[in-house]
Amino acid sequence: MTIPTLVANYQKKVLKTQFTKKYAEISQAVLLAKSETNGNFKSYCTLLKTIDANAGKFEYLNKEECFAIFNKYFKQVGTCEYKNDVVTYNKKNTAYTDIGSIATPGKLLADGSCYDMVINSAKLGFTFDMNGPDKGPNALGHDIFSFHMDNNDYLQPIKQSSIYTDDDRDAAIAVCEEKYPSKGNYYYSCIAVAEQKGYPCRKDSNQAANGIGCSWYAVHDKCPEDNTKGYWDCLPK
C-alpha cells in the first residue's frame, strides 16, 4: 500500500478507537444520571412550563439541574473554540444542527474532547467531538457524533431514517421562507427541521446536518451505503 493509504487507514483506526471509548463513557454517564432522576432523566430534563403559548414562549423547569447532574460525569476544563467551520459527513458544506444537537460542542474535557448537552424541542441530546477542535477532521460522522435519549429513557445513537433529496430540501426551505419571511426564531427552527429531515448520513447529501444520522452506523460498525463494509472503512475522504 502507498504511504497516503497507510496514513488514511491509521487515522480511521484512531477515530474508531476514540469513538468506541467515548461512547462507553457517554453510556455510563447516562446510566448514572438516570439513577439520580429515578430512571426518568429525559422526562425530568424536558419538563416544560408555559410562559406565553401564543408567543411560543416556554421554559424547561429542570434545565439547570439537568446540566449540573450530567456535568459531574464530564468535568469541563476549558472551552472548545473552532477556528474553522465544522463540515458535513461528505465534507462539502458547513455543518449545522440544532434540534437536540449542536455541530460545535463547547465544553473542553481533560482528554481533549468536547461535548455539549442540548435540551430543545422536547429532545434531550448529547454531541461529542471525540478529539477536540485542534485535531480534526471536525466533521459530522467522522469525529463529531450526536445521541438522543428516547421516550423510554434509553440513550440512542441517531440513525438515518429516510432519504431526503436535494429537491425535498429546497422545497422545505422554500416553505420556511414563505411562512416566516421575517426570519425570526420560528424561521430558523423551520430551517433546522429541513436540514435534519431524515437524519442524513450519505456521501451525496447536501443537507447541512449530513452526518447527524451516522452515530448508529458507527456504533454498529456498518457502512451506511454498503453493508459489506465496516463503518470506518467507508468514511468519505
Cα 200 → chain centroid: 11
Q: How far apart are CA 222 and CA 218, in angstroms?
A: 7
pLDDT of residue 186: 86
pLDDT confidence band for 231 (50 / 70 / 90): very high
pLDDT of residue 55: 62
Count of other CB atoms within 10 angstroms of residue 142: 27
Task: Kindly calculate the radius of gyration of the chain based on its CA atoms and give it in whole angstroms.
Answer: 18
Q: In the chain, where are the structural domains located?
A: 3-158
pLDDT of residue 212: 98
Looking up cell 448508529 gives 216
- DSSP letters spanning the chain: --HHHHHHHHHHHHHHHHHHHHHHHHHHHHHHHHHTTTT-HHHHHT-EEEEETTTTEEEETTHHHHHHHHHTTS-EEEE---SS--B-TTSSSB----TT--SS--EEETTS-EEEEEEETTEEEEEEETT-TTTS--BBTTTEEEEEE-TTS-EEE----S---HHHHHHHHHHHHHH-TT--HHHHHHHHHHHHTT----TT---TTTTGGGHHHHHHT--TT-TTS-GGGG---
Question: For the CA atoms of 115, 121, 123, 129, what is the dihedral angle to 10 degrees?
Answer: -20
39-71 per-position pLDDT tens digit: 899 999 999 887 766 666 788 999 999 999 999
141-200 per-position pLDDT tens digit: 999 999 999 999 999 999 999 999 999 999 999 999 999 988 888 899 899 999 999 999
Read off the pLDDT of each residue in 223-232 and give the average, rounded to a whole number. Answer: 94
Read off the pLDDT of each residue in 4-17 and give the average, rounded to a whole number. Answer: 81
